[in-house]
Amino acid sequence: MHTAEHSSKLAQQDRDHLWHAMVKFNEQASPLMAVSGDGAWFTAADGNRYMDGVSGLWCLNLGHGRKEIAQVVYDQLMNVSYFPLTMSHEPAIELSAKLSELLGAPYTTFFTCSGSEANEAAFKIARQYHAQTGKPEKIKIISRYRAYHGSTLGALSATAQANRKLKYGAEAPGFLHVPPPYAYRPSFEDDLAAANHIENVIEWEGPDTIAAVIMEPFISGGGVIIPTPAYLQRVAEICRKHNVLLITDEVVSGFGRTGKMFGFMHSEGVQPDIVTMAKGLTAGCMPLGATAVRAHLYDAFKQAEAGSHFRHVSTFGGHPASCAAALKTIEILEEEQIPNRVARLSQDTMKELNRLESCQIVGEVRGVGFLYGIEIVEDKKTKAPASEETMLAIVGGCKEKGLIIGRNGDTVPGYQNILIVAPPLSSTEEDLQFLVDTVKNIVKKEAAKQS
């Protein structure tokens, strides 16, 4: 099938007809095209094998070729191929009950197709909840600079990465941003001061105007920023005090990525009002988003005036085959104790990557579970971010050696200087060793070039 002639025809059609996500138009010459996959590895049309050190887009958590997941999708499509959630079906019912169990408190879940949509639904639920409990002015959503919450206009407005908004005109109204706790480039004395700043903003804006705070427990695409557990605890306390809903975006950090089933579980005692999920929910095998809402919030919807309902629908949201894939994914995560495995194996990986901090171009190495960020700088003292050339040399060098790694997205102009590594949670110990050795060698080689 993949003869040289066929590959060259595909490459031409790709250039002519396929609009790629996030690829600069002048860089579209030869995109990597996967032709087969096996665990954490894939073979590309160029004939080379690569380890996927970023799990696709941080979602392929159990690797390629999980037969058990493929089988339930097939079985579901052969039985009930589609059914909307204006009515009901068994996989969605079972999945909503399972999510409630995993989240550690009673939750009711609304299903969508993606993380962006899960966050959109969360914002609308938060606003409607307040409107239905006598606080219709509570509409503003607070999020943090550097955070990414999705590409649709509401989720993009919660996203606080300047470059992502260029040329898209006005944002949705009612979104406010605050700096994250970021020990390496601090805006505050410490993490608690960063949390307390959120309280200041709530008070200055007027608590009766604030609907919710949304945050990832660990900023992922914005550069892997890891706060102390006390940060989220303090934010949760502030939210409770001001009747502001706490939404945790677990699109990346959910389902074992950080060494616990959910990222918020690193902060003891925190139970978010709303949890949004996607990506790892189906281990990247099927599209699915989920917005889980604490029981007391859902009850307020049930008790609202007659005829009240959540006026939101997604044709493919909670597709039966996607829900079946999610149920099987969760079964595997539990059976193979993936979160514990990640927590255990990440200790060695982290230790090895940390050694890079002695390198003159490495400002800081950060990580939690299988989520690592390596901040590359021109100068350790001034912390000036590494040049585009350096970043491309490192990412390209890893690719040449058969390892795909990423960088923080189009976050802050000039600060796309953080390497991101997030391998499949099922990566073997040999895979992880290959990853660590390759990253270390390439970064050291680049440092030597610059010394």
Shortest separation between residue 116's beta carbon and ligand PLP, angstroms: 3
Could you write out the DSSP letters of every residue in 35-67? EEEEBTEEEETTS-EEEETTHHHHT-TT-B--H
Which lies closer to ligand PLP via its Cβ, residue 222 or residue 363? 222
Which residue's CB is nearer to ligand PLP, number 182 or number 434?
Answer: 182
Q: Say which residues have a Cβ less than 8 Å from residue 238's Cβ, sequence separation at least 6.
A: 195, 196, 198, 199, 202, 244
Decide whether 57 or 304 has the Cβ nearer to ligand PLP: 57
For the bound state, the minimum distance from the C-beta of residue 166 to ligand PLP, rounded and expressed in Å, comes to: 18
Q: What is residue 139's three-state secondary structure? A: coil
The contacts of residue 410 (CB under 8 Å, 6+ apart) are: 22, 161, 163, 164, 416
Q: Report, in Å, the least distance between residue 449 CB and ligand PLP.
A: 32
Is residue 55 within 8 A of residue 284, CB to CB? The reply is: yes
* Minimum separation from the CB atom of position 216 to ligand PLP (A): 5
Task: Tell me the residue number closest to ligand PLP, measured at CB.
Answer: 115
Which CB, 56 or 397, lies closer to ligand PLP? Answer: 56
Query: Which residues are at the interface with ligand PLP (CB under 6 A)?
Result: 57, 114-116, 119, 148-150, 216, 220-221, 249, 251-252, 278
DSSP 323-381: HHHHHHHHHHHHHTTHHHHHHHHHHHHHHHHHGGGGSTTEEEEEEETTEEEEEEBS-TT
Helix (H, G, I), strand (E, B) or coil at 220: coil
Instruction: State in angstroms the smallest separation of the CB of 148 from ligand PLP.
Output: 5
Which CB, 130 or 149, lies closer to ligand PLP? 149
Nearest approach, Cβ of residue 427 and ligand PLP (Å)? 20
**What are the tokens at 207?**
């608590």
DSSP string for 261-323: SSGGGGSTT---SEEEE-GGGGTTSS--EEEEEEHHHHHHHHTSSTT-------TTTT-HHHH
Reference 40, options 434, 406, 339; nearest CA is 434
Residue closest to 280 by CA, chosen among 325, 315, 344, 246: 325
CA distance 407 to 404: 10
**CB of residue 114 vs ligand PLP: minimum separation in angstroms?**
3
* Residue nearer to ligand PLP on the CB measure, 275 or 442: 275
* Residue number with CB closer to ligand PLP (114 or 438): 114
In the numeric block, which tokens belong to residue 447? 């440092």
- The smaller minimum CB distance to ligand PLP, of residues 145 and 148, is found at 148
